[in-house]
Structure 1
Amino acid sequence: MALRAAGPMLDPCPPGQIGGSYKPLTEAEIQRIHGTALDLLERLGMAEVPPRLHADLLAAGALDNGAGRMLFPPALVQAAVDQAAKTFVLHGRDPDRSIEVGGNRVYFGTGGAAVQTLDMESGLYRPSTLADLHDFTRLQDTLANVSWFTRCCVATDVPDNFDLDVNTVYALLKNTTKPIATSFTLAGHVAPIVRMLDIAAGGPGEFSRRPFLKAHISPVISPMRYGEDAVDVVYACIDHNIPMSCITAAQAGATAPATLAGFLAQSLAETLASLVMVHAIQPGFPMVFSNWPLVVDLRTGSFSGGSGETALLNAASAQLSNWLGLPSGVACSMSDAKAVDAQYGMEKGITSLAAALAGGNLIYESSGMTASLLGASFEGFVLDDEMHSNTYRALRGIEVTEENLGFDAVCEAVLGAGHFLGNQQTHAAMERDYFYPSLADRDAPRTWAENGAQDAWSRARDRARTILRDHRPAYLTPEQDRQIRAQFNIL
């Protein structure tokens, strides 16, 4: 009891557990989807290719069909896959918070561009602000299962796009030393922001030597065309050694086929087109193969982030990416619920667990996202962190060893005390093998009532308020902050 009161002696379910046991696609199905994706790239190709990329693709082996489309022979696609970075480090400013992306390890993190925040006082949504972004960054800095932080909300009170990009990165630098990620509205914003990153890193050129920020870019617009502004950002990021998540975000029945197999084929083709683009610019540059299948409710056109189809498609996407041997990124745990309620828990649980079991290396949107990505919730962040611990425990699996099988322990209990409560094997397993939640309620109904009959939303709200009250990091030195403020409009 004294040991328990002092806190867990070890974490039985840390991030980076092994995934890949859930395989929604057979090998033959993977081959057919991959073959169709290659056919799409070879026979249909990509449209709206910016001139600079057009020249680089031609030099790499792509073909111009003379009708405004670039065709990618299978040999070019295979070369891009073969030479792609299979693993790379997402650095944190604190080296102990760095993670290695790729292989079969699973990490939960964030993403999203919520324009509304679920207010903790009113329980209703309001426009997201820059202050919210600072608070979300501070909050997640304490959460062990957010392995990297991408801004989860847009500061709608910052109207200028350059100021928005600058202040978004500043909020991340000030409030966390985890690996961070952001997006750039325009390519011209990259170089100035790198100057700010250099200040935080210790001087000119220091960020590029050990980049602790990655870029979220969507260079492909479904169906099957490039977006010029995003392609320009890709070039700028490669120039400054900023790793990238190149995100394909097709929507089933809208910008991609409604059939799940057809959707996967087109989405795979489009994400491969991003990889070929990177390969043509700089072979092997670090890129997360971020094939994010998104689902719409075909009755209404509304986005559906918490559906069973979302769970299935993202698990299949992770399986396809891992089959190619590429660092995989998928998007799960983004409930359509507006409140922190039963729908919220159900949708987040099934989608995040499916993606993790399938082996998605980086699972985006997995913390705090509500209202079909329109909203972000402080309470959601702390609840999701506990959910991720349970998911990691499921991934860790069962260690079958001679000692764990416990033949001697069974004999001792049967012939002795008649139970296992005082057994040394029980004491050893208590911390090593079991996760003990701090938010989920396991009390008897009477005890729960005597303690105020709180629901999960209320308990999570109390926890979030405590963290935001007490955790006020200052990861920029006063001199670094002064230098940044002298060069940028920090709001």
Structure 2
Amino acid sequence: MNEGQTGRRSGGRADRVAKRALPPAVNPCPPGQRGGQYRPLSEADIVAIYQTALRLLSDLGVGEVPEILVKPFLAAGATFGDGRVFFPQDMVKRAIGMAAKTFTFHGRDPARSIEVGGDAVHFGTGGAAVLTLDIDSGGYRPSTLRDLYDFTRLQDTLTNVSWFTRCCVATDLPDIYDLDVNTVFALMKGTTKPVATSFTIHEHVAPIMRMVDIGLGGDGTSGLFRATPFLKTHISPMISPMRYGEDAVMVTLACIEHGIPLSCITAAQSGATAPATLAGFLAQSLAETLASLIMVNVIKPGHPMVFSNWPLVVDLRTGSFVGGGGEISVMNAASAQISNWLGLPSGVASSMTDAKVPDAQYGAEKGISSLAAALGGGNLIYESSGMMASLLGASFEAFILDDEMHSLIYRTLRGVEVSEETLGYEAICEAVLGPGHFLGGTHTIAAMQRDYFYPTIADRDAPVTWEEKGRPDAWGRAKLAARRVLETHHPSYLAPEAEARMRDEFPIQLDP
């Protein structure tokens, strides 16, 4: 060994230790990684499912068509009979061709905007939990408006929640107008990420969009929202099996009128409102989501719409909804694969665990379903953070745990980069002929900063250290992390004068 090699082996240890302690210079696993590696369906399978969906739309048709849609559908080539509308295959294909393939889902902070579509994967939220897992008692209680605001500002700090849909319902607001108004207010006050909500009835859309304009600094009629639409609506215009829901259709039309992007969600349940067979389920739910797509693009071609085909599962022994399991995981991945095959922005769901607390069941169900949906290529993966108890509950600790889980999934999607640098021929030679290891080397430090994710919640201590620390578990660590955020992160994303006017003109019930 020469003198230079000896120096490399013994010198600079303190500097190397300091470098290893630094956080990564670049996030090694940011949102927007490429999905689509998992293909549960063959090309022939997809074609068979698609052809069956086309047959359902052309031969069986869709029932309970609201009167407001009859003339537009007829003008576009549909036919009617026995109270049902029939969509010829060429009409369906035209609608797919007209539909938006990608769109920008804006954040009020432009740096937080995301591009929806292609092969980019983003985890976000959804749900309408009526219960919150209390961070102090560890038991469930009815969700409140304050909970919704607290969830909003908590996720505002989390890297892997790319957009935030209200995850719980403020059950302390029984009036539906107050509920819809205060939900949007809490979203605007608590985050500048892209957000999503729902409107109970279509009459609420116009006044709430007036409030949104005021919140953006306008006079209520300025139209500022249309320049950077940051608010999306979740709506289910189709009711399984194979009929329109008039109230939801009216909300959809009102949102189109106001330039609000849509997530048109089909949420059939296996063996209840859709076939129990996975293939049959996928065919029917595809037909139903296509019926929403047809409606949107007949009214306004190219309007931003997430093709949100969510396969949901029923435990056929009891009839209860199942949030976790192999079937729901593979079907959501298959749904994403079909939507991407059609070239449409895909929306699916994951992490809808049936577990009531963060335990082994929680981790298994969330990890399997989230990874399957991401590898399947879901562009927007709903319900993916914070949800528990088969969507009945939301949890502050779960948001923390799920955010770290999604970093691991994004790192899996990122895969392996092969280049002259990463193959490391020179580094191997240097280690073999020099110190005999790679610890602290330049090549190692670079990879450490660029390629590896380091968890803050998962425990990597030795057993003896874990014992000395009091045997902490993941739930406890997440609880501490959530409390730190809730105690310290109090964002002010509404200008004082705008918030004052919103409070003056609308029934805002969130404490200042």
- The two structures share one fold, judged by TM-score above 0.5: yes
Is 1:60 equivalent to 2:89 in the alignment? no
- Alpha-carbon deviations, 1:243-273, whole Å to 9, x = none? 0000000000000000000000000000000
Secondary structure of the residue aligned to 2:211 is helix
- Which amino acid in the other structure matches residue 185 of structure 1? T
Structure 1 residues 200-209 or 374-383, which shifts more?
Answer: 200-209
The CA distance in 1 between the partners of 2:19 and 2:151, in whole Å, is 32
Q: Which amino acid aligns with 2:50?
A: H
Q: Secondary structure at the match of 2:161?
A: coil
- Distance (whole Å) between structure 1 residues aligned to residue 41 and residue 85 of structure 2: 30
The CA deviation string for residues 302-354 of structure 1, in whole angstroms up to 9 with x for no partner, is 11111110100000000000000000000111110001100000000000000
Residue 86 of structure 1 corresponds to which residue in structure 2? Answer: 101
Alignment equivalent of 1:222, drawn from 240, 252, 255: 240
Deviation at 1:109, TM superposition (A): 0.1
Give the residue type in structure 2 aligned to 1:457.
W
Deviation of 1:2 after TM superposition, in Å, equals: 2.8
CA distances 1:183-204 after superposition (whole Å, capped 9, x unpaired): 0000000000001110122212
Flag the structure with larger Rg: 2
- Give the Å deviation of 1:4: 4.5
Q: Does 1:43 align with 2:45?
A: no
**Correspondences of 1:47-446 after superposition (within 5 Å):** 47-64=63-80, 66-203=81-218, 204-446=222-464
How high is the TM-score relative to the length of structure 2? 0.95
Alignment partners' CA distance in 1, 2:61 and 2:124:
33
Segment of structure 1 superposing worse, 1-10 or 78-87:
1-10
Counterpart secondary structure, 2:263? strand
Q: Distance in 2 between matches of 1:207 and 1:483?
A: 17
**Separation in 2, partners of 1:248, 1:104:** 21
CA RMSD of aligned residues (A): 0.8
**Mapped partners of 1:3, 1:300: distance in 2:** 56
Aligned length: 490
Q: Distance in 1 between matches of 2:414 and 2:180?
A: 38
User: How far off is 1:422 after superposition?
Assistant: 2.6
Conserved? CA contact 2:31–2:160, under 8 Å: yes
Matches of 1:309 and 1:171, distance apart in 2: 35
2:30 to 3, 11, 14: 14
The DSSP-based 3-state class of the residue aligned with 1:263 is: helix
* Stretch of structure 1 that moved more, 54-63 or 315-324: 54-63
* AA in 2 matched with 1:163: D
Summarize deviations over 1:29-50 as a string: whole Å, max 9, x none. 0000000000000000100000
5+ unaligned residues in a row in structure 2: which ranges? 1-16
2:14 matched residue in structure 1:
none
- Cα deviation for residue 6 of structure 1 reads 4.4
| 2:167 counterpart letter in structure 1 | C
Kept in 1, the 8 Å contact 2:19–2:445? The answer is: no
Compute the TM-score of the two structures, normalised by the length of structure 1: 0.99
- How far the C-alpha of 1:413 sits from its partner, in A, is 1.3
- C-alpha displacement of 1:120: 1.0
Give ranges in structure 1 of 5+ residues lacking alignment.
none
Moved over 4 A (4+): none
* Amino acid across the alignment from 1:406: G
Assess if the C-alpha contact under 8 Å between 2:20 and 2:445 holds in 1.
no
Q: For each residue in 1:396-415, what CA deviation from the matched residue of structure 2 results, as whole angstroms up to 9, or x when unmatched?
A: 00001122111221122112
Aligned to 1:25: 41
Amino acid at match of 2:54: L
CA distance in 2, matches of 1:7, 1:319: 36
Residues 145-172 of structure 1: per-residue CA shift (max 9 Å, x gap): 0000000000000000000000000000
Q: Which amino acid is the alignment partner of residue 489 of structure 1?
A: P
Question: Is the partner of 1:246 in helix, strand or coil?
Answer: strand
% same residue = 70
Q: Which shifted more, 332-341 or 53-62?
A: 53-62
Paired amino acid for 1:105: A
Q: Give the Cα separation in 2 of the matches to 1:364 and 1:133.
A: 17
Over residues 372-424 of structure 1, what are the superposed CA-to-partner deviations in whole Å (9 max), with x where a residue is unaligned? Answer: 00000000000000000000000000001122111221122112111111321
Tell me which amino acid in the other structure corresponds to 1:79. Answer: R
Q: Secondary structure at the match of 2:498?
A: helix
